[in-house]
A and B are shown apart, each in its own frame.
Chain A
Amino acid sequence: MKIRFWGVRGSFAMSGREFLRYGGNTTSVELLTDAKQRLLIDLGTGATELAKQLMGSEFGKGKGTLPILLSHTHLDHIQGLPFFAPFFIKGNEIRILGAAPLSGISLEATLQNQLAPHYSPLSGLENLAAGVTIETITPGEAITLPGFEVVTAAVPHGSMWTTAYRITADGKTVTFLSDVEYPSIDDPLPEALALAHEADLLIHDAMHADHDYDMRKGWGHSPARAGVVVAERAGVKKLALFHHSPDATDDMIDEVVERTAARTTVPVIAAAEGNYLDV
């Protein structure tokens, strides 16, 4: 299995020279099996870059199929949806899977709201030319997608919940735990540890540098150290710090990686936009 980060930034897309090495696009991660089956996590602005590449393949001819897992529906995770070009080609079959954002508000109603006529000229999901299905996940359930086995769990994210994913393909496992804040950093939730158990790669929310965290407790995001605790307890093989703060320049992220790596034997990287990496 290969992975490519198309968007690693949290909250807000950042353009400019200070954000070029790690990238300024908001959340979007592609997984690709050896047999070239594809899975996308989240539709932040990074997805618009992947879209350009996909349009050169079967998606440009209306013959593409793609499942997309949404962690949640905060804007930085869905703002690329109206600009994801494969949606505009008739014949493509795209599944969007995610949990209902809140009790009483469905995933479909939420995405319809995003595309409401006053907010978007698309004026609703029904105007997307591709075949689009919205499938509601009940966190905790396991899902089988072509080429991928997926285990899901709800984790706390400030005043809402996000869905975390454990994805296995080609005998390798990637765990996606973004937009999460545990009640105690030193005592991560058992659901998170179970999802990360002996994963080959753990992608973890690291919005805050450790020294900034005290001021930002309760905002729904983790300091870099939280991912280390999960990785060590769960026996993870590699940790990718993810969902970088919009205020974190490349040099600041370098520093976070250096400090984080110094405190653990788990190999640590900061997720960066770029090429396909072997899991």
Chain B
Amino acid sequence: MQITFWGVRGSYPVPGAATVRYGGQTSCVETRTASGDTLIVDAGTGMRALGNKLFREAPEPQHYHVLLSHVHWDHIQGLPFFSPAYVPGTKISVYALLTAADELHQVIGGITRHEFFPMPLEAIPAVFEFHQVEPGVELDINGFHITPIALNHPFGSVGYRIDGDGSSWAYVADTAPFTEVLHKQHFLPGPEPLSDDDKLALAAMREALVRRLTGVDTVIYDTHFLPDEYAKFPHYGHSTPDQAIEICVESGVRRLVLYHHAPSHGDDQMDRIAAEYLSQGAKKNIEVLTSFEGMTLPIGPEGT
């Protein structure tokens, strides 16, 4: 199995001279088994370039599978720009957590409302099919075994453990750590005091995450913030590399990939972050890599 990063940025796309090396597009990762089965995780702006590549590889209609962590704009904006969707006969199965009162097809279809995009989802030639996921309820998709994991993010988010070809990786984004803030379904102007129930809920979420990550080859983690930035915005729903390393230590994970980079972190700063956490991780026997657009990683002992 292998994974390829098509968008590594958080929040919004950042063009310009400061992002040419790490990339400016938002969340989108492709994974592929040795036999060529693929799965797309998140549909951020990186999905446009992925779509163009997939179309070049196989212009005839395909069945694509897209797992969404949640439906914030930076994780869904690429969907209407995925060129294979305009090939009649294409089928796109979307898997997501339901966090709104509306049905999934309304929530995801809502990004192509007439006010926002010239063509509604129903008019796009591909047939879309929506599947609701629930944390802990495992599913088999296109040769992959998937375990959704609840994460701590405004209005809810899920990570995924993905097993295939006898190895596994996990996508842990977007999530805040499991300490100061419990994200629920309301707007947070700042951190709220935690009730005892909140503390229990956070501990349970953290415990389940650690358990699901145990034995995983590679973990991709939302490390949007540096510690000083996190201290200012603990209620934004994102983590630091330090917090990701802590979870990996507890899960016995040996390879961590920093992901969902803050839009303000330019290439030079990303180089410093990469070097700093490579060395921090080494002290804990964890290989810490920093994702960039176009990076491909083999997963598993043989690295297919």
Contacts and interface: CB of A to CB of B under 8 A. Distances in A.
For chain A, the bracket of interface size reads 35 or more
B19 interface: yes
B187 A122 contact: yes
Nearest to A101: B115
A114 B116 contact: yes
Given A118-B107, A121-B154, A121-B187, A83 B263 contact: yes
Interface of B: 11-17, 19-20, 23-25, 45, 48, 70-73, 76-77, 81, 99-100, 107, 110-111, 113-118, 154-155, 185-189, 236-237, 263, 293
A79 interface: yes
B20 A15 contact: yes
Given A13-B24, A16-B20, A74 B12 contact: no
B16 A48 contact: no
Nearest to B25: A15
Nearest to A72: B115
25 contacts: A15-B20, A16-B15, A16-B24, A19-B15, A20-B20, A25-B16, A45-B14, A74-B118, A79-B73, A83-B12, A105-B114, A110-B116, A113-B115, A116-B110, A117-B100, A117-B187, A118-B107, A119-B71, A119-B72, A119-B76, A119-B111, A123-B154, A124-B187, A159-B114, A160-B115
Contacts of A127: 187, 189
A24 interface: yes
A23 interface: yes
Given A113-B110, A121-B72, A12 B15 contact: no
A9 B25 CA distance: 15
A66 B210 CA distance: 48
A116 B237 CA distance: 17
Q: Chain B CB within 10 Å — which of A49, A116, A119, A219 has the most?
A: A119
Given A15-B16, A83-B12, A220-B118, A120 B24 contact: no
* B interface, over-half SS: loop
B187 A79 contact: no
B24 A15 contact: yes
Contacts of B113: 113
Given A73-B115, A113-B110, A123-B186, A118 B100 contact: yes
Contact of A123 (B19, B76, B187): B187
Interface string A93-117: 0000000011001000010011011
B15 A25 contact: yes
Contact of A119 (B73, B115, B188): B73
A62 interface: no
Given A121-B236, A121-B237, A127-B187, A102 B15 contact: no
B71 A15 contact: no
Contact of A15 (B11, B19, B186, B187): B19
A79 B14 contact: no
A33 to B, nearest CB: 27
Contact of B99 (A75, A82, A118, A246): A118
A45 B100 contact: no
